[in-house]
Amino acid sequence: MNENSKYEKARQRVKDKMDFYCHIATYVVVCTFLYFINQNTSPGYDWYIWPVCGWGIGVFFHGLNVFLIGNNTALMDDMIKKEMDKMGD
């Protein structure tokens, strides 16, 4: 792997992590806002929990993709090499 390719992969990983951190920050701000709206409009029913849970599932899978699935570039490179070997020349 040449330096340019390494740089591009590292750059993409950093971008993916920054996108995830922005996603979490947005999630926290919006969920807090929804909580206060809920408490001021209908304190007897906690409806804010539904968007918090739904969006939370999305944040969870985004994190899995960034830190676990997307982090296995060596595994992916190995699988690509095996597939290329199966195809032959």
Average pLDDT per consecutive 10 residues, the chain (89 residues; last block may be shorter): 80 93 98 98 96 98 90 72 79
What is the pLDDT at residue 28? 98
Q: What is the pLDDT of residue 80?
A: 78
Q: How far is CA 66 from CA 9, 18, 28, 58, in A?
A: 13, 10, 19, 12
0.75 exceeded by pTM: yes
Q: If you ran DSSP here, which 8-state letter would residue 45 be given? A: S
Residue 89: per-residue pLDDT: 59
Q: Which of 31, 83, 88 has the alpha carbon at shortest distance from 54?
A: 31
CA dist 71 and 13 (Å) reads: 8
pLDDT value of residue 31? 98
